[in-house]
Amino acid sequence: MLTFYKKVSALSLQKRQKKEQDLLNILFIGDIVGINGCEFLRKNLRGLKSFYGINTVIVNGENSAQGNGILPESAEYLLDSGVDVITGGNHSFKRKEIFEYYSPQKPVIRPANFPKDAPGEGMYILDFGSLRLAVINLIGQLYLEPADSPFKKADELIKMAETNLIFVDFHAEATGEKGALAHYLDGRVSAIVGTHTHVQTSDEQILPKGTGFITDAGMTGAVNSILGVNPEIIVKKFTLRVPVRFEEEEGPCKLEGIIFEICEKTGKTLNVTRIRSGQ
């Protein structure tokens, strides 16, 4: 595996492990695309968790099924690979087979600001015994199907969470909307990650009141693709203006994501590390 993230010396790794006794190290992995992306995640996740001392893994899995969407089989594959919570987005209901799979007991969630009677939940609580981590999933309102306000829904769920350790996946198209929600929630959530565009941004940061943020975590899927899809199909769509059926590209893959080191006591982000690895 060819790695693009910075390696640390054995001495600095020992210092980090000592420091992490009071830290929750969360690895968020950007949108998983198809079987190719799922298999690449499984191949590399154990090594990443060991290398960075990861406590918790969250992934966006709304494109994890072959042919788009998420299926019970793709969700179970990701969970069996070492993922703790799976978030979704505008494709959360793409496949009808997933409807009955959603339940409060399963760590697979969809945007909370979808209609309340829709299948699934928008928040999942990971209980570690001595602490609780709330994972919230929201979707944007700009350039996507209509949804309730992510700002108001975030206010509601933060109160319900009853913990200062809160992680948000904001699945949105517009970078301005992602930034606006991040600043709106600064100091009230531990970290907020943008998803949906499949293009990793280089603006990882800690906001003034202690919330970690990146506009988009990127994707996990084929390198020589257009957002994980076969390039020929996308070119045909734009040049001929005819309907096409998306097919995941095969070949060498990449995994993109971001790590947040969060203080267990304060719920604030202390460090942010953007990662990318590939074959």
CA atoms of 78 and 55, how far apart (whole Å) = 16
Task: Evaluate whether 128 touches 89 at the Cβ level (below 8 Å).
Answer: no
Task: Evaluate whether 88 touches 111 at the Cβ level (below 8 Å).
Answer: yes
Task: Evaluate whether 42 touches 81 at the Cβ level (below 8 Å).
Answer: yes
91 flagged as catalytic: yes
Check 91, 171, 196, 198 and give the catalytic one.
91
**Amino acid symbol at 166:** I
Which residues contact residue 228 at a Cβ distance below 8 angstroms, ignoring those fewer than 6 apart?
Answer: 31, 33, 34, 37, 63, 198, 219, 221, 222, 248, 249
**Amino acid symbol at 179:** G
Which residues are annotated as catalytic? 91
